[in-house]
Amino acid sequence: MTTNTVPEKPSLEGLEQKWLASWDDAGTYAFDRTATRADVFSIDTPPPTVSGSLHVGHVFSYTHTDCVARYQRMTGKKVFYPMGWDDNGLPTERRVQNYFGVRCDPSLPYDPNFEPPAEVGKDAIAISRRNFVELCERLTVEDEKVFEELWRRLGISVDWKMTYQTIGARSQAISQRAFLNNLSRNEAYQSEAPTLWDVTFRTAVAQAELEDRERPGAYHRVSFHKPDGEKLFIETTRPELLAACVALVAHPDDERYQPLFGTTVTSPLFGVEVPVVAHTLADPEKGSGIAMICTFGDLTDVIWWRELQLPTRPIIGWDGRIISEVPAWITSELGQNVYSATAGLTAHSAKEKIAELLRESGDLEGEIRPITHPVKFFEKGDKPLEIVTTRQWYIRNGGRDEKLRGELVARGGEITWHPAHMQVRYENWVEGLNGDWLISRQRFFGVPLPVWYAVDNDGHPKWDEVLVPNDSDLPIDPSSDCPPGYTPDQRGVAGGFIGDPDVMDTWATSSLTPQIAGGWSVDDDLWQRVWPFDVRPQAHEIIRTWLFSTVVRAHLESNELPWKHAAISGWILDPDRKKMSKSKGNVVTPIDLLDEHGSDAVRYWAASGRPGTDTAFDVGQMKIGRRLAVKLLNASKFVLGQGTAPASAIAAPIDQALLAALADVVDQATAAFEAFNYTKALEVTESFFWAFCDDHLELVKDRAYGLAGADEAESAKATLAVTLETLLQLFAPFLPFVTEEVWSWWQEGSVHTGGWPKSAALRAHGGDAQALDAVAEVLSQLRKIKSEAKVSMKAGLENATITASQAQIDFIGQAASDLLAAGRVSGDFNFTVAEGQILVTADLTATTE
């Protein structure tokens, strides 16, 4: 779309709508899938969680990637830049529950006519899993529209014909296929083991989803009883787990307790006999130096339990309450009564009850001592995690395998990290793993684990007899589909089958974004053109989850790295340098931001945030961006208003010098972009642009007007045109709208596909960039004389004398006529040769009035 006219009064108004429509029509950002891998630049874009709200951080980091994508596209690469939507998992479930006022009850039958109420009622309506999933899908479609609208408006140059959803059929099939491949290679396995468990969501939680929170707790000094009746004190923050106690433990070197190792003691209230054992993890400094091991109070309990081969005595159920049935190991009547008194209580209430009973029996010594200590939470949960023994699926990630861990650490070393120090975070995480990747979740909305289990003749599931689907049937839902060789009426009956009720962890699917976007196993033609990807842009806090899990899957599936580069973006901080948060009410709605400042201006601000660096939200920076865009319009209007001339007309030394300086800028910007340093590329371009406007444009005005002759004018015009063209190209990745607008005034096609400038062509004109500095210095000093005299820049000067080195005088002499005109100096310069700084003196011309 070329108008070939320069508007009277250029404006930023309406440029976004105009060019978005134009790009859409022309397919400017469409991926050319005839390109071979060498000509492709492929981006493993982060699929935003659509059920989350949009915030400025999205705008920030996606702009970074887009700048790089646009640069690559301009260099001639076919950019594979698809957008994905992450609609998996808990965030969506939660949002659906609140939005429609429903909750999922998998035991209910599907109601094909179900419609959520118009008004959300006070009590959540229970609906079937299938109805629930339908609502999830309905809502995510709406959410995706809002996201797409923002990305388009921001000028993100993705190919909107290539979007994917992490819950879409294709993603499900790929996710299930990858899992089944893991299973067939023994990289996925199931295990009955103590698992971190969120009692609110009633699901297992992976190590990567944990976080420690400081919580108040209290030490209870509780007495156990030696066979001789003597009291042995332990200190615990969890007296409610007394019934789950399987042993007491002290450090092997602890002389206080060495005599007790190998003996047994009896627990208070319950009267259960437990051994006293030794383990190095017991801290003699902590409490009384001897602790009770329960199954399970914390992760240390799990280690003791496993390494000391202790029995399992679980008393906490999946709902976080004390299991109601009195356990078999409690044999005393008193113990059974005590247990019954706490059965069904939450851990919190049970704690109080047990403390009270211990007090009555005289087994609680002294006062309860309040402390603050770190407690493990599910990052999305708000109740402390419990540890429950369950059967779960795992994928090997090196957490229990030295060799695999070493390979994965090595993979991290093969990635080029931006910035480089982010690799350390990866290494620390991988080296600190202490278990495999738990991927099964007891949730509803997600990719189902694609397996069934045979049911024996007594009607019990045979967990080790896993039934898998045919590959051609993927994706499948084991709760409604049948395993090969079975019929639906065999579901749940003796000799039949039962489907795995769980879904996969959201990261189990997200870890396959390159495979999903690139068409692994479903579109081999596309796959071989884009894999492995060039870059994964993402935030640093999910290196341990998304980045690592993607490396794991690619390593296991393809024995390759999923991408060459990892570009890690920083956080957005509010102007007080605090992390922006909703609760503080300082979250700015991105679309309002775009309305107020314009997309180019917001992009300018985003691009000023360097890779991996946290950046303050700064409206001032957006205003500067807007000013830059306006300046670009006006400077372009002026340049084009002079008319253009062929590059062959470039002859004036100062013109050639300008192009030589511009060539340096092109080289610097190119090098910066190649290193993913878009900020640097913008900086050098912007700096040159302002100098160009302030000095060169002023310097050559008179000459361009033709006051120095036709040839001189042609040289000026040709130089201005080449410079403008190059500057538009350099700015195009950052300011796609205004550059495209100006481009359309005088060029064919889109600036975004018209090529990246080449410095060699600019240098071919000869010229010495240093000449520019000398000339600019003289111009500045001429202005200073007027500024200090407090007169207008149009005031005349005479008797101008320049003292400078011979080399500088040579440069200045070549541009003398331009300088005389721009400075309104009458007569000629007098030159004096002297080493050192350039010095200019002149007299103000006496006014005639």
Partner RNA sequence: GGUCGAUUGGCGCAGUUGGUUAGCGCGCUUCCUUGACAUGGAAGAGGUCACAGGUUCGAGUCCUGUAUCGACCA
Is residue 783 close enough to count as binding RNA by CB under 7 A?
yes
685: closest CA among 724, 731, 738, 723? 731
Nearest residue to 205 via CA among 401, 385, 447, 451: 385
Q: How far is the CB of 685 from RNA (least distance, A)?
A: 12
Ranges of beta strands (E only) in 468-509 are: 497-499, 503-504
- Distance between CA atoms of 611 and 540, rounded to whole angstroms? 11
* Contact (Cβ atoms closer than 8 angstroms) between residue 243 and residue 327: yes
Amino acid type, 562: P
d(CA 498, CA 482): 9
Q: Does the protein bind RNA through residue 259 (CB under 7 A)?
A: no
Sheet holding 497-499, edge to edge: 461-467, 452-455, 497-499
Among residues 381, 445, 502, 477, the alpha carbon closest in space to that of 100 is found at 445
Nearer to RNA, 10 or 84 (CB): 10
Q: Find the shortest distance in angstroms from Cβ 613 to RNA.
A: 5
Candidate ranges 245-253, 353-361, 693-701, 822-830; the one touching RNA (CB under 7 A): 693-701
Residue 672 sits in the site that holds RNA (CB under 7 A): no
187 or 702: CB nearest RNA: 702
Would you tell me the crossing angle of helices 678-691 and 56-74 to the nearest 10 degrees?
A: 80
Token readout for 606 is 């985003």
Among 409, 764, 791, 839, binds RNA (CB under 7 A): 791
Q: Per rule CB under 7 A, is residue 595 in the interface with RNA?
A: no
421 near RNA, judged by CB under 7 A: yes
Query: Which residue shows structure tokens 């500024």?
Result: 787
Tell me whether residue 214 or residue 228 sits nearer to RNA (CB atom).
Answer: 214
Does 772 interact with RNA (rule: CB under 7 A)? no
The smaller minimum CB distance to RNA, of residues 104 and 821, is found at 821
Q: List, as one string, the DSSP characters of 740-757.
A: HHHHHHH-SS-TTTS---
Work out the burial of residue 170: count CB atoms within 10 Å of its CB; fewer than 13 is exposed, 13-18 middle, 19 or more buried. middle
Position 631 contacts RNA (CB under 7 A): yes
Token pair of 156 as six digits: 């993100």
The minimum distance between CB 161 and RNA, in angstroms, equals: 35
Please enumerate in sequence order all residues whose Cβ is within 8 A of that of 107, keeping only pairs 6 or more positions apart, or say none.
none
- Does residue 585 interact with RNA by CB under 7 A? no
C-alpha 751/C-alpha 748 separation (Å) is: 9
> Shortest Cβ distance from residue 253 to RNA (Å)?
21
Closest CB to RNA among residues 455, 771: 771
Q: Is 17 in the site for RNA (CB under 7 A)?
A: no
Residues in the interface with RNA (CB under 7 A) total 56
> How many beta carbons lie within 10 A of that of residue 100, not counting itself?
21
Burial 24-51 (b: 16+ CB within 10 A, else e): eeeebbebebebeeeebbbbbbbbbbbb
Shorter beta-carbon distance to RNA: residue 224 or 417: 417
- Other C-beta atoms within 10 Å of 188: how many? 25
Using DSSP's 3-state secondary structure scheme, residue 808 falls into helix
Asked if residues 245 and 293 have their Cβ atoms less than 8 Å apart, the reply is yes
Which of 20, 120, 210, 409 touches RNA by CB under 7 A?
210
Residue among 415, 402, 399 at smallest CA distance from 551: 415
Given the complex with RNA, which of 6 and 120 has the nearer CB atom? 6
Q: Is 428 an interacting residue with respect to RNA (CB under 7 A)?
A: yes
Distance of CA 181 to the CA centre of its chain: 28
**221: which strand partners?**
235, 365
Identify the residue among 92, 140, 172, 207 touching RNA (CB under 7 A).
207
Nearest-angstrom CA–CA distance, 824 and 434: 77
With H, G, I as helix, E, B as strand and everything else as coil, classify residue 549: helix
Q: Which stretch binds RNA (CB under 7 A): 18-26, 72-80, 253-261, 685-693?
A: 685-693
Show the binding pattern over residues 599-628: x = contacts RNA (CB under 7 A), - = does not.
-----------x--xxxx-x-x---x-xx-
Rg of the chain over Cα atoms, rounded to whole angstroms, equals 36
Binding RNA by CB under 7 A: which of 577, 585, 592, 848?
577
Say whether residue 793 binds RNA (CB under 7 A). yes
Q: Which of 175-183, 203-211, 332-340, 453-461 is the region at the interface with RNA (rule: CB under 7 A)?
A: 203-211
Binding mask 515-554 for RNA (x = CB under 7 A): -------------------------xx--x----------
Q: Write down the least CB distance from residue 612 to RNA, Å.
A: 8
Which one-letter amino acid corresponds to residue 66? D
Return the residue of 790, 846, 847, 848 that touches RNA, per CB under 7 A.
790
Q: Give the range of 38-46, 336-344, 347-355, 691-699 binding RNA by CB under 7 A.
A: 691-699
Does residue 532 have a cis peptide bond before it, meaning omega lies within 30 degrees of 0? yes
> Where does this chain touch RNA (CB under 7 A) — which range of 223-231, 280-288, 337-345, 775-783?
775-783
Name the nearest CA neighbour of 538 among 46, 49, 88: 46
> Does residue 30 belong to the site contacting RNA (CB under 7 A)?
no
For residue 263, state whether it binds RNA (rule: CB under 7 A).
no
Q: Is the CB of residue 82 less than 8 Å from the CB of residue 163?
A: yes
Distance of closest approach, residue 825 Cβ to RNA, in angstroms: 15
Q: Which is nearer to RNA, 693 or 761 (CB)?
A: 693
Residue 335 or 570: the one with the smaller Cβ distance to RNA is 570
Q: Is 693 in the site for RNA (CB under 7 A)?
A: yes
Among residues 114, 233, 527, 638, the one that binds RNA under rule CB under 7 A: 638
Interface pick for RNA out of 256, 306, 462, 579 (rule CB under 7 A): 579
Residue 582 touches RNA, criterion: CB under 7 A: no
Beta strands 210-225 and 231-236 are antiparallel
User: Which CB, 384 or 448, lies closer to RNA?
Assistant: 384
Strand partners, 803: 832, 839
**What are the DSSP calls for 682-743, one per residue?**
HHHHHHHHHHIIIIIHHHHHHHHTTTT-HHHHHHHHHHHHHHHHHHHHHHTTT-HHHHHHHH
Nearest-approach distance from CB 357 to RNA, in angstroms:
33
792 binds RNA (CB under 7 A): yes
Q: Which of residues 359-378 bind RNA (CB under 7 A)?
A: 374
* Interface with RNA, residue 664, by CB under 7 A: no
Give bridge partners of residue 1 from the DSSP assignment. none
* Binding status of residue 690 toward RNA by CB under 7 A: yes
Strand 245-250 versus strand 290-294 pairing type: antiparallel
Query: How many angstroms separate the CA atoms of 183 and 450, rounded?
Result: 11
With binding defined as CB under 7 A, does residue 788 bind RNA? yes
Mind spelling out the 3-state secondary structure of 514-555?
HHHHHCCCCCHHHHHHHCCEEEEEEEHHHHHHHHHHHHHHHH
Which of 635, 649, 762, 774 is close enough to bind RNA by CB under 7 A? 635
Task: Quote the least distance from Cβ 606 to RNA, whole Å.
Answer: 13
We find the least distance from the C-beta atom of residue 790 to RNA, in angstroms, to be 4
Q: Which is nearer to RNA, 108 or 539 (CB)?
A: 539
280 sits near RNA (criterion: CB under 7 A): no
The binder of RNA chosen from 432, 643, 766, 827 (CB under 7 A): 432
CA distance 307 to 289: 19
Whether cis (ω within 30° of 0) applies to the bond prior to 296 is yes
Which of the stretches 113-121, 149-157, 251-259, 427-435 binds RNA when contact is defined by CB under 7 A?
427-435
Window contacting RNA (CB under 7 A); options: 25-33, 402-410, 644-652, 781-789: 781-789
Binding site for RNA (CB under 7 A): 11, 207, 210-212, 374, 421, 424-425, 428-429, 432, 540-541, 544, 571, 577, 579, 610, 613-616, 618, 620, 624, 626-627, 630-631, 634-635, 637-638, 641, 680, 683, 687, 690, 693-694, 697-698, 701, 779-780, 783-784, 786-788, 790-794
